[in-house]
Structures are given as structure tokens and as C-alpha cells.
Amino acid sequence: MVVMTRWLNPDEQRTWRAFLAASRALMDTLDRELQRDAGMPHAYYEILVRLSEAPERRMRMSELADATGSSRSRLSHAVARLEAAGWVRRKDCPTDRRGQIAVLTDDGFTTLAAAAPGHVEGVRRHLFDALSPAQVDQLRRISETLADHLTGS
Amino acid sequence: MVVMTRWLNPDEQRTWRAFLAASRALMDTLDRELQRDAGMPHAYYEILVRLSEAPERRMRMSELADATGSSRSRLSHAVARLEAAGWVRRKDCPTDRRGQIAVLTDDGFTTLAAAAPGHVEGVRRHLFDALSPAQVDQLRRISETLADHLTGS
DNA sequence: CCGATTTGGTTGAGCGTTCAACAACATGCC
DNA sequence: GGCATGTTGTTGAACGCTCAACCAAATCGG
């Protein structure tokens, strides 16, 4: 059976290309700033943030993967790097012998604390400073809707 | 001089994390679909699209880099791959002896034409179907504002 | 209790991106 | 014209991500 493609109309086309350009430019910029100022990519920064917010600064690998929207494989590689940098330590899980627990080290916490102000400033400058309060609200609703829609399917 | 960090308030925090999760999930999903169905990453698809829209299906490397928001290095590597796949051909520029012109081959055009319906369907399903017309409009304005803001600085 | 399935996590290969260095050519200035 | 500077594009190494394969341990079903 032949199904006609529902092509994008000009408005949708324009929206889609603008979104692509904007989100890529934003993430590229933040990634580059973080790499330059803190010596780590944004994905690694996010891992440290999540760990720093967790009780006792530790999390199961799979929870951490979910929290950062990452695959298990990606997280495994990433934590290996973070461990080599001395920012994270791996521990065996006491209740599940398959499990591994990632623990943020003091060194990792210090590094994160040093990187955070600059990064937050970057997010503010490149994202929030450009938008009106109403637009920030719109962006939140849109993003939450999209995230739901994507993980729901 | 010590400058106080302008930390994110709870609303901004929530917006930022939702945006991160949504844009990552969206791009990951589309990238995976395109890789599965057309054997190419989204970045390469975009290159083929731009070429297909250009007069005579050809563009200077640097224009193509600008159009796709890519670095020259990235484009160079990418076009090398696309050339190996037989989808793009390189030509010397007649007016600037440093220049190279990327030309979409018939094979490349055919491959793109085969990939497009599925990809557009994906964009519609994962993005536009989830949003109201008003939200699409909001997203366009937000994205255009952000893109301006980022390339302006 | 035991085999089958599922879950948690790691590994290595292949690929795409980044970054810095570089080569070739064009342009500006005197 | 001739030298300095800017632009165009490529290259190779290092790095991060994806994918498929895999092992070990937990859980399910009889």
C-alpha cells in the first residue's frame, strides 16, 4: 500500500530548520566553552551534576544512565574516563551483585564546583538572556511535551 | 573582582533540563531512524538536502559548511565519506584555485529521495504531531531568536 | 528447584567530530 | 612587484558515541 508522505509546509519547514540551527549552535557553544574552561564535554559535566545532587553523591549506573538520558554503554565508557580523571569512583553494589555504584569523589566535586559558575553563566547568556519570560515558559512547556511524547512512544 | 554567579531559578532550571532532555531525545531518535533506514547520520542527510536545493546541485565547500552549521574540518571529513559512498563528487572551482565544489551525484539524489519520506514522517511524528499550531509558532520564534543571538555574538 | 528469560553492565570495533597544524592560494598595503 | 595577512580546504590524532556481542547475576515459570 502506498502512503502519501505528509510533507512539511513552509512554516513547519522554517520551524524545523530554525530549531536545528538553534539547538545545534547552543549545544556546540556550551560544549566548547565547557571543554575550554573545565576540560570536559557537556555530557560529562551532566554526569557529575547528577551525582552531586544524589544522596551521598552516589548512584547506580543504570539510574545515572536514565537520569542523563544516556545509553548504558555510553555511560560505561564515560564513567571509565571520569574514573581515570579521578572524579568518580566505582563501587560494588551490596544488594545486587551485578550492580555498580558510581561515587563522586571530593576531587570531582571540587572540579564541578569550579566549573559550574562559568557554565551557568553561559547557559544564561546564550539561552535565557535572549528570551522573554513568556518565551521561557513556552519553551518549558514545549520541551516537557516533547520529552513526554518521545519517551512515551 | 569577584562577580556573583547568576544561578538559575527553579523555573529556569526546569526549563533548561527539559530542553536538554527533549532536544537530545529528538535528535537521537531521528539520527537512529535515519541510520537504520537510510544508512547515514542526520548530519550527512542535511548535506545532501542542501546540495539538492542548490542551483545545479552544487555548492562551494565553505558555503555548504555555513549552510549546515558545520566546521570546515567536519565538512571535509563528511564529504570525503559521501564521496566514497558515491553520493557526492568534488570538483575544482574555476574562479578560485583554492576552492572545491561539492556536487550531488544522481546516485546521491536517488538515495536522498528514497530517504526523505521516512525522515519527514519521523520529524512530523516526533515533533509536530506533539505540538499545537500555537506551540509550533512559538518554537519557531524562540529558535530564530536563539539562532540570531548565538551567531550574533 | 532448574532451565529460560530478563536485567545490569562492560567491551571492542567502527564511525563522526574536534582540534591544531598545515599547504595553497588570494588579497591588501606599501 | 613583493611581502604580510587572511581565506579555503585538508589532514591526522585524540576523543566520544553507537552498535552488537557478551558475561554474570537476578527473576520468572513450570
**For chain B, what are the domain ranges?**
24-115
Kindly state the average pLDDT of the residues B80-107: 97
- B140 contacts in A (CB within 8 Å)? 11, 14-15, 18-19
State the cell numbers at B115.
530517504
pLDDT, tens digit (0-9, with 9 covering 90-100), for B66-90: 999 999 999 999 999 999 999 999 9
- A27 contacts in B (CB within 8 Å)? 23
Residue found under cell 552549521: B69
Best of A49, A119, A127, A129 to substitute, by most chain B Cβ atoms within 10 angstroms, is A127
Q: CA nearest B26 in A: which residue?
A: A150
Q: Binning pLDDT at 50, 70 and 90, where does residue B5 land?
A: confident
Q: Which CATH architecture has domain B24-115?
A: Orthogonal Bundle (1.10)
pLDDT, tens digit (0-9, with 9 covering 90-100), for A108-125: 999 999 999 999 999 999
Tell whether domain A26-152 is in CATH 1.10.10.10: yes
State the cell numbers at B2.
569577584
3-state secondary structure of A60: strand
The residue type at B39: G
DSSP A101-124: EEEE-HHHHHHHHHHHHHHHHHHH
Please tell me if residue A15 touches chain B, with a CB cutoff of 8 Å. Answer: yes
pLDDT, tens digit (0-9, with 9 covering 90-100), for A76-97: 999 999 999 999 999 999 999 9
Q: Binning pLDDT at 50, 70 and 90, where does residue B153 land?
A: low
Cβ contact A138:A86 at 8 Å? no
- Nearest 5°: phi and psi at A127? -115, -70
Q: What pLDDT does A4 receive?
A: 81
Residue B48's closest CA among B107, B4, B93, B97? B107
HSE toward the beta carbon, residue B84, CA cutoff 13 A: 8
